[in-house]
Amino acid sequence: MAILFDENTRVVVQGITGNEGSFHARESIKFGTKVVAGVTPGKGGIDFDGIPVYNRVIDAVEKEGANASGIYVPASFAPDAIIEAIEAEVELIVCMTEGIPVLDMIKVKDALKGSKSRLIGPNCPGIATPGAGKIGFIPNFTMKKGNVGVISRSGTLTYEVLWQLTSLGIGQSTAVGIGGDPIVGTTFVDLLELFQKDPQTDAIVLIGEIGGSAEEEAAEFIKDNITKPVVAFIAGRTAPPGRRMGHAGAIISGGKGTCEEKTKALESAGVIVEKNPAEIGNRIKKILQGKN
């Protein structure tokens, strides 16, 4: 089954004629994604590898049945691109763009309220479901179909964990990178709830980072709502206070958001917190063997 992305997902790529959009559109097609349209304002009427390109997202929705969007446009255009997809009632919007100002994301969050859309990102590696397709940067070779759900704030660690699992013969149901910005469209809690309800998912990997309170909120939710085993890793264990780790949201401020606080919260919720990122796959393997 998987979550959010399945064989019925029809993708429009916003920015399909740009370098990022064109490359990742082709890679997603290789992964089995149904890319049904592209959008580049001013270039409507052309085609991209046989895929029709439109000026507006609403045209891709009405003419090609697009119900998901991948956004690969610069930060100055990304907020408007997200809002255009929301107004076109695209169900799943995935924005990989980094560097979007916080004030612009506040406007995006306001536009999402009461809409029919879910946003993943921005500043994220995207979403992928083996056997159905993907939107974003997750390398095709790192994944295989299976029963482990992966949620992550870190792009690089997402790829690492997926490759560990695949190399051990452990497949994934869906992998989602939620993004490393202070304001994101979909949270750990949102996705934990979906994985808990998904009959294909038997275990969950959660990759967090220092900064913010997303992991503590996830721990609270897990304690009361998740019955499936969860293995977590928190990046930034040795980072000093005030040091940012590449992501705008990964910064310890006022003594809050430390690795120790997050680890304590997760462990108190029954989560296995792995301190060595190279051992995450083996942790999951042992759990699955124990279940069998």
Phi, psi for 279 (deg, rounded to 5) = -105, 5
Residue-wise DSSP of 183-242: S-SS-HHHHHHHHHH-TT--EEEEEEESSSSHHHHHHHHHHHH--S-EEEEEE-TTPPTT
> How many other CB atoms are found less than 10 A from the CB of residue 214?
21
Q: Which residues contact 183 (CB under 8 A, 6 or more apart)?
A: 102, 105, 106, 109
Q: Which sequence positions are flagged as catalytic? A: 247
Torsion sign over Cα 240, 156, 135, 9: negative
Cα separation, 209 vs 155, in Å, equals 11
Beta carbons of 127 and 4 less than 8 angstroms apart: yes
